[in-house]
Structure 1
């Protein structure tokens, strides 16, 4: 050891020996450093809890029995511009339950005029709906619900309610349209 090191250690030891520990308040969560005025807090995370950010559960407008014991929930019926969007959720008590719906048989009925509105197609001739393969709208109706949607021509503003029909699912009748 060099002399500078020994002198430093001796000076530090003398300085620490003069400290009265009983004058410095400390708790298990905080410890004060009297010379710098800095307080440090120990933060501990819960060991058994994993924080999970969750959205509030969305309430279904209406529910109907679906194929193979599935349940189909109508979540949203809203007009934006000239397009009506219908959003559905499909769930089942089964761990594996996939469902397909013939897109050509999915319709919205304007309750005021009894006019049937089919799923729209885009400029490329593709169905404006989720998870479409060929002419089938597909979804996983498992314990974790699958969401499906389809777009239709909007009924006139004078139409306040519509009815929604999917093959193999009970009808959703008299549904208010959000504009």
Structure 2
């Protein structure tokens, strides 16, 4: 009789295994919420290495990483939020590419943006009219990523100071490799 009772318990336990299938069905729902989190996190200053505020606009330095012989730097310009919680318009600004640079703390040298063989700066987004500046249009109502490429600092330089024209200096920025 005890064996029959154990066999009956085992039979009941077997149907319990398919009950895990609905739990797996719940997992995609929680996965969906995880997918939404990174989108919201892109505008969060917590991801920023450093932040500058100019008027109501905010500039986040989000990346300073060497790949090969190139230092890739990224900023995210974030417009202010309107009372309804949506993004408002940027104030609008232009920044000359010739004025972007970084200072290597180890060598005390000023390093300017890379240019291709035609003299075009390695940056994005570049103003299509002059190809000499980055323009943050006043009509933009969403965060805007600004990408810059510089010659890489030597491996002996763990930090640099990045100059963003009309915004300011981002001091002692750690360089990742």
The aligned counterpart of 1:61 is: 49
Shift of residue 143 of structure 1?
5.0
SS for the counterpart of 1:54 is: helix
SS for the counterpart of 2:118 is: coil
Please give the residue correspondences for 1:140-151 in structure 2 after superposition, counting only pairs within 5 Å: 140=137, 144-151=142-149
Q: Which structure has the highest helix share of the two?
A: 2
1:79-100: per-residue Cα shift (whole Å, max 9, x none)? 0111001000011216222322
Aligned 8 A contact 1:106 1:166 in 2? yes
The aligned counterpart of 2:61 is: 74
Larger Rg: 1
The aligned counterpart of 1:165 is: 163
Q: 85, 89, 108: which is aligned to 2:102?
A: 108
Please give the residue correspondences for 1:119-130 in structure 2 after superposition, counting only pairs within 5 Å: 119-130=113-124
SS for the counterpart of 1:112 is: coil
Number of matched pairs: 129
Structure 2: state its 5+ residue gaps: 1-31, 82-87
**TM-score relative to the length of structure 2:** 0.66
Shift of residue 125 of structure 1?
1.6
